[in-house]
Amino acid sequence: MTISAFPVLERGGSGLELTDPGMTLRDYFAARAIGPLLQQIEVYPDENWRIALAIDAYAMADAMLVARERAPS
């Protein structure tokens, strides 16, 4: 199941309608993880640092989604 962050709801003929799903929660978590990872840029020494950084950000996002499922409500 994909969870959206910042969906856009607008008034329509039958009440509120989803007009834009927004970004996925996974993308939101990855975006939030980029900043702290950039603080440790020396960990990424070669010319492919952008790809490695993105992979790590999404790995962190995936871990956050797993933790979210396991956390008691």
Closest CA to 56 of 25, 35, 71: 35
The sign of the CA dihedral 60, 62, 67, 73 is positive
**According to the model, what pLDDT value does residue 21 have?**
76
Q: Where are the domains of the chain?
A: 23-73
**According to the model, what pLDDT value does residue 67 have?**
95
Cα-Cα-Cα-Cα torsion 41, 43, 49, 53, nearest 10 degrees, comes to: -80
**According to the model, what pLDDT value does residue 56 have?**
96
Across all residues in the chain, what is the average pLDDT? 88
Rounded to the nearest angstrom, the gap between the alpha carbon of residue 29 and the centroid of all alpha carbons in its chain is 3
| Residues 55, 26: Cα–Cα separation, whole Å | 12
The mean pLDDT of 54-63, rounded to a whole number, is 97
Residue 2 has pLDDT above 70, yes or no: yes
- pLDDT tens digit string along 18-53? 777 778 999 999 999 999 999 998 888 888 999 999
